[in-house]
Amino acid sequence: MSGRPGGAPVVVGLGEILWDVFPDGARFGGAPANFACSAAGLAAGAARVCMAGAVGDDDLGRRALHEFAARGVGTATVAVRPEPTGRVDVAVDADGQAIYRFAPDCAWDNLSWSDSLAALAAETAAVCFGTLGQRGTPAQATVRRFVAAVPASALRVLDINLRPPFWSPEVIRGSLPLANIVKCNDEELPAVARVLGLAGPPARILHDLVERFALRLAILTRGAAGSLLVAADGCTSDLPGSPVAVADTVGAGDAFTAAVGLGCLAGWPLDRLHAHAERVAAFVCTQRGGTPPIPAALWF
């Protein structure tokens, strides 16, 4: 796995840290936080994984720092701020549908630039950032400054995470030029296509994204229907979903992204890294929670 000369590559989750609060308790999450935890589990010491974000000086913030530490994710660049730690209150309506209410003005919305973030950016080999993490104006500026500051050779993975009403066409248009890998799901891809004036079947849209933004890779996840990857050289890899006994799907897409990123750092060919990422996501679906321990058979 390539990275810093003489050392393990530095992999960074950048953005929101939050808890999904269900009637029966709180579950740790946030897409870049899940990415970081999954990357640490998959790398098993072959990469140095860090989180860059913010939590509040409260119980959920302290619990979040503990969750990162337990999974081997560095937290030196997780700021402790006066705003509360991010939370999403989850209720279930009479039809069994989940209703999500995001708390406003949380710590992750107010992530500000620091010398420690600058130092981390300078040695980053791969960073995963998203659209939701740019909900707050201070955080948006910091996220974009960090991604712009990483070495030119670094992987810059954009996770399109469209949570109404916390996204806008500007966030998509402003984030894509910073990325060299883009990942979205089958509900998000049509929205991205509308914003950019693209049309056609999913494979055509992914090819157009690769060409327009000089991407190394465009990724479409489709839940049980599998995933589709399109590379810069025009090669595609299309895999069906793996039939598994699903416990829940929380974090599976983030684990998939982590596996793809580590596979790219390791120099794996497209088909190999895609197959491995599918296996990782399938495993996470069989476990409760978004960041289960990763078995050795899936390590890099």
The tens digit of pLDDT for each residue in 32-64 reads 999 999 999 999 999 999 999 999 999 999 999
The per-residue pLDDT for 24 is 80
Residues 168 and 184 in one domain: no
The per-residue pLDDT for 188 is 96
Residues 158 and 38 in one domain: yes
CA-nearest of 242, 52, 42 to 143 is 52
pTM for this entry: 0.94
Residues 145 and 15 in one domain: yes
Intervals of the chain under pLDDT 50? 3-5
In a domain, 295, yes or no: no
The per-residue pLDDT for 247 is 82
Structure tokens at 110: 């107010």
CATH number at residue 101: 3.40.1190.20
Residues 159 and 81 in one domain: yes
The per-residue pLDDT for 5 is 44
- What distance in Å separates the CA atoms of residue 258 and residue 262, rounded to the nearest whole number? 6
Chain mean position to CA 19: 15
Residues 41 and 66 in one domain: yes
C-alpha torsion sign, points 77, 80, 84, 89 = positive
End position of a domain, from candidates 172, 193, 225: 172
Residues 99 and 126 in one domain: yes
The per-residue pLDDT for 91 is 78
In a domain, 294, yes or no: no
- What distance in Å separates the CA atoms of residue 37 and residue 128, rounded to the nearest whole number? 12
Residues 27 and 149 in one domain: yes
The per-residue pLDDT for 2 is 52
End position of a domain, from candidates 172, 198, 222: 172
The tens digit of pLDDT for each residue in 98-154 reads 678 899 999 999 999 999 999 999 999 999 999 999 999 999 999 999 999 999 999
Residues 117 and 211 in one domain: no
Tokens 């953005």 — which residue?
Answer: 15
End position of a domain, from candidates 172, 194, 215: 172
The per-residue pLDDT for 98 is 64
Query: Structural domain tally of the chain?
Result: 2
What residue numbers bound the domain in which 254 lies? 180-288
The 10 Å Cβ neighbour count of residue 104 is 10
Tokens 């107010």 — which residue?
Answer: 110
> What average pLDDT is seen over the chain?
94
Starting at the edge strand found earlier in the chain, the sheet holding 86-92 runs 25-29, 18-22, 86-92, 98-102
In a domain, 213, yes or no: yes
The per-residue pLDDT for 4 is 47
